[in-house]
Structure formats: C-alpha cells, structure tokens
Amino acid sequence: MHHLLRLAIVALAAGVLATPAFGDMAPDNSLPTETPAHFVPTDTGFDYVRRTVEIPMRDGVKLHTVILVPKGSTHAGILLTRTPYGADGMGHRNDSPHLDSTLRGYDNPADVVVQDGYIRVIQDIRGKHGSEGDFVMNRPPIGHGNPTGIDESSDIYDTIDWLVKHVPESNGKVGIIGISYDGFEAMVATIRPHPALKVAVPINPMIDGWMGDDWFHRGAFRQQMIPYIYGMVNSRGSDIGWSTGHRDDYDLYLKGGSAGDIGRAYGMEALGFWQKILAHPAYDSFWSDQALDKVAANEPMTVPTMLVHSLWDQEDNYGDMAVYRALAPRDPNHEKLWLVLGPWRHAKTWEKGNTIGAIDLGSNTATTFRQTILRPFLARYLKDDAPRAGIAPVNAFVTGANTWRQLDTWPSACRTGCAPTMQRWFVGADGTLGTTAPATGEDAYVSDPAKPVPYRVRPIQSWSHGVADREDSWPEWLVDDQRQFATRTDVLTYVSPVLIQPMGIAGEPLVHLLASTSGTDSDWVVKLIDVYPDEVEAEPSMGGYQLPIAMEIFRGRYREGYATPKALVPGKAQAYRFPLPTVNHVFLPGHRVMVQVQSSWFPLYDRNPQTFVPNIFNAKPGDYKKATQKVFRGGADGTWLELPVVK
C-alpha cells in the first residue's frame, strides 16, 4: 500500500513538473472574447423610449438627465423632477419594459404619469451622481447667501429651456414635482421661472432647515440627521456609507458625547456643509436669508403651485405651511396657490395611504389624493385644452374623523373661511387638564442628561430604516404610542376628563409654558396627545392608545430671540411661547386630551447640557449636569395650550 502511494505521489509530481509555466504558454488567438466592446440593448417590448442626455447650463456645467417618453407620444406635457438621489435609479428598472413598473418607487407618481401620458424627466442636480459641477446642500437662491451667478433656479430654467427645444414629442408645457429635497427643487423652481414652467407641486419640501425642517427645530439640533449629512456630502455618488456598530442609536449618541464630538469622530470636519452647521447654531442671517418662505414672499407669484403637507411628517413638517402662510394673503382669488393636508408620514403620497403605523385611516388616502386632486390639477396646466380642474383651494384630511374637507382658506372651520376659536387648555394639579384656570401651583422633575428621555421605545433604529416592521418603522415614529414615556418620572403628564362631544382642532396649537430650571439652559418638549378609550371593541389593540397629534421641542436659550442665545436665570419662572406643528384632528367622544412636558427627546435631538455654553456642538462632558425643572400652573399666567377649535 505504501509503495503504491509513493508511486502515485511521484507520478503526480512528475506531471506537475512537466506542466509549462504560465509565462511560457503561447497566446490562444483561436477563442476571441464573446463580449462586445459596446452593447446597445434594444427596446423590444418596451412601451417607452429612454434617453440619457447631458444638458449644458449657462456656465458650461452639464447635468445628467434621464428622459422617459411613452411610445407614440405627441403634444405631451413634461413632468420634471430634480434630485440628489440618483436619476438613473429613479428612472430605471431592469426587470420591466413597462413605464408604470419602471417608475415605481421614491418620488415617482407612476400611475398619474402613465394614465395621462406625460414625458417623465429626472435630473441629477449639480454636483451629484452623473452631473458635473459642485454640490452645495440646498444651494441658496442668488442674492440670498449666494453671491454667484447660478443657483438651482437658474439650472431649472436652463434645463426647461433645453427640454422644450429638444424633446419633439412635447407640447412645450413643463411641470415640476418632488418630495423632500426634490420638493425644495420644485419650490425654488417658482423663483424667476422659465415661461414654459406651467405648474409646480412641492411635496414635504425642505424650506427652512433651522426653524423646523431637517437640521434644527426651534434651535435644537436633529442629530439623527448626521448620517444623512455624512452620506450626502462625502462623495458625488453618496457611496460611502455610515456605519456604527450599534443596534441602538440611543447608545451610539449617548456614548459619542456632543453632536460635534460625534462628527469629529467620523471625520466630518472635511465636509463643507457640516462645517456650516457647526458655525451657525443660532438663527442668524445664514439661515434666515435662504429660508424659501421668506424668499418666495418677495417674489412675483406666476406659477400655479400646489403645496402638499403631511400631518405626521417626521422630517419636514414646518416649511410647506410656512410657505402657505407667506403666500396665501397674496392670492385672495385662489389663482396661484393650493394646499393639501394629508394623514401621512414624509413621502407617503405615492403609496396607498390606508394606514399609518397602527392607525387605520379608513380609505386609501394617498390614492385619493393622486387620482382626484393631483391628477386633474396637473392636467389643467400640462395638457392641451384641458378644462378647469375645479379643485378646492384647500383639501384637508381630518384625522380622527377620517374624512376629507374642501375649504377656501386654511385654517378654517368652514368652506368660506370661518376662523377657528382659540381655546385655552390649562394644566392642573394632580395631572389634570381642562378649560378652567386652576389654582396656582407647580410640578417638578429632574432632567438628567446622562439618562435622556428617548423619543421612541428602545432599541432605536437609525433614521434610514424602512417600515417593514415595528423595529424598522422610523418613518412613522410620530404616531408611536406614548404610554411608555408617560411612566417616566422626568415626564409630566396632564389628561382631561373623557370627552362627551367631539372636538375638532385645525391649525397650529400654541404653547404657553411657564417654567424654571436650576440650570442655565434647558430644552422644553411639549406633546399634544389623543388618548383612546381603555377598551376599543372594534380594534382591541388600540385600547388606551396615546396617539400623538402634535409634538415640538424648543431650546430655552432662544427664549428672547432665535438669533442671539442667552443664558437662563436659575430658578426664575420664565414664559416660553411657541407653536406646535399644524393639526387637523377630531378628538372623538370617549377619548381624552393629554399634554406631556419633558426636557429631552433623545437621540433624535442632541442633548442640552443644561449649562449655558456658547455653542452646544462644543460642549464638554463636564458641562452636562442634572437640573430641577418646574412647570407652574394657575391663572392666565400659568401653563396652557391654546387649541384652534372648530365645530
């Protein structure tokens, strides 16, 4: 046996030694490559034609643009979206030759495009993905913090000018639509617009990044947007991902220290926009000059515009309503401005919209919006000889009642513009809440930056996670049950008696908080909540559910003005006045009204050290200290919420 094995080894070795070395092998020219130098796929079976072009701007920069033309189109309107998220991905799917399937996904109203035969155009904005030039986050309009000769508006103008001259299937009419950043593009398009721009639909647009959209809310920094900033700015293709090694963002940000420390740990000092964030923690001219509601208020209104607002928008629940407040008084005859309020999270409009979180909305609300509001609105301006759409100036979904209302103005208690009645709801002793001013008193709690109040039940996943299940449901956190937070000793809870009659509210609830802190700075979080009956026969899982209706944070250092922070006086009762986000809700009989007050909302917002420092991004570990917080009640000068009540 050993002998045979030995022979086998020798034979094997001989064979190996007899094999010529790789470098000695003669080239094999008999088998040429089977891959062509350049393969052009056909469009056999496709119901549309795809064109990819590089459109030149006035300064010579070329922008990567995808044009999808339904086969057989003539005199078709163009529907444009500009995006930093990749035009190729938004306008292409390899597994379908049909335009409807190709467009399914983020920021594509696929059903409306296909039904009405629009030419769909998607373009990478300057400096992102396939487009040349330099990327600037939310590039400000010319003259508003932008001293150059180009901005997003000029790029849109040049793009539209090229499209109407080089897309022969079009009728020369262009509309622009987009969500979030793409919604910012749709809004900025209305500033110095091209004559061929006939309609704009900004949905959940980024308008004012400091006051209440992506980066800050009333001075508190939204630190869970750090990964977004990181990914958007670190490369043209946004292809360097964020990684943490933590399952729970609460741990990541608590261990990381200040938001500035976290940025430094990830090398973000190399990112230009991050440096701007660090340099402008207050609402100085850097922010106020470029806020699009302020810019638009001083521009002619020439483009019919439909603002679309989501009542539970977890990213941009401020800007579109700010634009509406700025522009509505200038359009008394309802010729240029429309408003839609839907029961959605951010970017929910292209889905069915029959639920949000655990809440059943009673119908496919987003489908209704697309088919009965958006579709005729676009057709009126993009189709040849289209009839007037007959759409109400304001279409507002009423949460709680699960119905749509058609109104002339917002906020309104009736079709012709009846103003809501502002009604004060006072916090009282023993956690009560009511419409009668109670006796004076105070409630106290200790706010500890080492143990901040979470804004979700832990583990808290990253902002980027989807809605496949509860654990990955970040986009719908604004409807999370608030019961877990009401049990914390650093959260004050006030609740009304059971309602006998329905109570509708429409507009912005106003907070009047009289409070003190033992520190020299403080955050204040106020939540308005609809408490369901303890038992809900039709939906047992909703028994006792605490549904947030409107919630907001306010950074105390800006009590006297957003531009200049000032230290708070320890132990001094001071008034804080700020609005909650827009609501359109009915508290049903059997429900109760609840208000919660706390001093942290973590890790969505960075921790206030509760010691005044010039710039919280640079706060040191020793600056973070416990503070005793007091909320004062009683009389007209106590703590109350003013609710815009409608009948």
On the question of pLDDT at 28 being above 70, the answer is: no
* pLDDT, tens digit, 9 for 90 and up, residues 435-461: 999 999 999 999 999 999 999 999 998
Q: Around 124, how many Cα atoms within 13 Å sit in the side-chain half-sphere?
A: 28
- pLDDT tier, 43 (very low <50, low <70, confident <90, very high otherwise): confident
Task: Please give the pLDDT value at position 466.
Answer: 44
On the question of pLDDT at 414 being above 90, the answer is: no
Of 307-311, 417-421, 461-465, 634-638, the least confident: 461-465
- Mean pLDDT for 603-608 is 98
On the question of pLDDT at 102 being above 80, the answer is: yes
Task: Please give the pLDDT value at position 465.
Answer: 47
On the question of pLDDT at 105 being above 80, the answer is: no
- pLDDT tier, 462 (very low <50, low <70, confident <90, very high otherwise): confident
- pLDDT tier, 416 (very low <50, low <70, confident <90, very high otherwise): confident
User: What is 421-646's CATH number?
Assistant: 2.60.120.260
Report the distance separating Cα 630 and Cα 628, nearest Å.
Answer: 7
**216-286: in CATH 1.10.260.40:** no
Domain residue ranges in the chain: 48-210+287-407, 216-286, 421-646
Task: Out of 3.40.50.1820, 3.30.450.40, 3.40.630.30, 3.40.50.1860, select the CATH number for domain 48-210+287-407.
Answer: 3.40.50.1820
Rounded (10°) angle between helices 152-166 and 181-188: 80
Closest by Cα among 594, 595, 598 to 629 = 598
Question: Which residues, listed in sequence order, are joined to residue 527 by a DSSP beta bridge?
Answer: 551, 596
Of 120-134, 308-322, 467-481, 572-586, the least confident: 467-481
Task: Please give the pLDDT value at position 389.
Answer: 80
Tell me the residue type at 548: P
Higher model confidence: residue 19 or residue 419?
Answer: 419
Please provide the average confidence, as pLDDT, over all residues in the chain.
Answer: 92
- Mean pLDDT for 594-600 is 98
DSSP letters, 92-145, are --TT-SSHHHHT-STT--HHHHHHTTPEEEEEEPTTSTT--S---TT-PPTTSS
On the question of pLDDT at 298 being above 80, the answer is: yes
On the question of pLDDT at 10 being above 70, the answer is: no
Closest by Cα among 267, 273, 259, 266 to 128 = 273
* pLDDT, tens digit, 9 for 90 and up, residues 212-232: 999 999 999 999 999 999 999
Of 302-316, 464-478, 562-576, the least confident: 464-478
Report the distance separating Cα 61 and Cα 57, nearest Å.
Answer: 5
Task: Please give the pLDDT value at position 44.
Answer: 86
Report the distance separating Cα 233 and Cα 235, nearest Å.
Answer: 6
* pLDDT, tens digit, 9 for 90 and up, residues 62-85: 999 999 999 999 999 999 999 999
